[in-house]
């Protein structure tokens, strides 16, 4: 399965940390790419690239994880739909993830949309699935982690080799790492 994540309406300086966390979760939990709209942020792109350089960028699909800025979320969604992607919008107003996950697992390509500022109604309409991990206010980072875990069926938790210079050596106590 090929998964990309679209982060909507990135705002400087407000969303720097959250957007970075969305990218970290996307990479670690099996997505191949993060695209973002809103304000262009070279610092965000550099931060994600450094993580990939140090910790590895190899993804579950075998490609390298990447980040890119896009001017229009609607254009990205329409282009991905033409490429055969199914579009999943994470929202607390959607259908429960546990009910939708079996259908999503059958898809070859997914674009998962993670909001920021108020999401325009057009995003809901363009999405093939509006999915909620809970019908309560929650973090978009947590929602992304939960849906990716459901889609990957826990494979992302089994210590995949991301091909990085740095990696963690699991230990009961202390911090052990493999470094160059």
- Spell out the SS3 assignment of 139-154: CHHHHHHHHHHHHHCC
Name the domain count of the chain. Answer: 1
69/87 Cα distance (integer angstroms): 18
* Residues of the chain above pLDDT 70, percent: 94
**Range among 18-27, 49-58, 147-156 rated most confident:** 18-27
Two tokens at 177? 């790492």
Q: What pLDDT digit, counting tens, does each position of 96-118 carry?
A: 999 999 999 999 999 999 998 78
Q: Which one, of 116, 103, 117, lies nearest residue 147 by Cα?
A: 103
ω into 13 cis (within 30 of 0) = yes
What is the C-alpha separation between 71 and 38, in angstroms, rounded? 7
> How far is 138 from 92, CA to CA, in rounded Å?
8
Low-confidence winner among 5-14, 60-69, 92-101 (lowest mean pLDDT): 60-69
Structural domain of 134 = 2-178
- CATH code for the domain of 148: 3.40.1280.10
Inform me whether the pLDDT recorded for 59 exceeds 70: no
């Amino acid at each position: 399965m090929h998964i990309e994540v679209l982060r909507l309406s990135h705002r400087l300086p407000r969303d720097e940390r959250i957007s970075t966390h969305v990218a970290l979760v996307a990479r670690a939990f099996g997505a191949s790419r993060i695209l973002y709209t809103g304000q262009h942020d070279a610092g965000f792109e550099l931060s994600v690239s450094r993580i990939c350089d140090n910790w590895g960028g190899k993804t579950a699909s075998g490609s390298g994880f990447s980040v890119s800025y896009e001017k229009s979320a609607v254009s990205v969604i329409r282009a991905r739909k033409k490429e055969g992607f199914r579009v999943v919008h994470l929202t607390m107003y959607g259908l429960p993830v546990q009910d939708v996950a079996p259908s999503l697992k059958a898809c070859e390509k997914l674009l998962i949309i993670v909001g920021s500022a108020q999401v325009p109604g057009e995003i809901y309409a363009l999405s093939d699935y509006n999915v909620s991990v809970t019908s309560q206010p929650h973090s978009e980072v947590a929602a992304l982690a939960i849906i990716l875990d459901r889609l990957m069926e826990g494979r992302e938790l089994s210590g995949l080799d991301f091909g990085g210079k740095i990696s963690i050596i699991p230990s009961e106590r202390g911090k052990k790492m493999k470094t160059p």
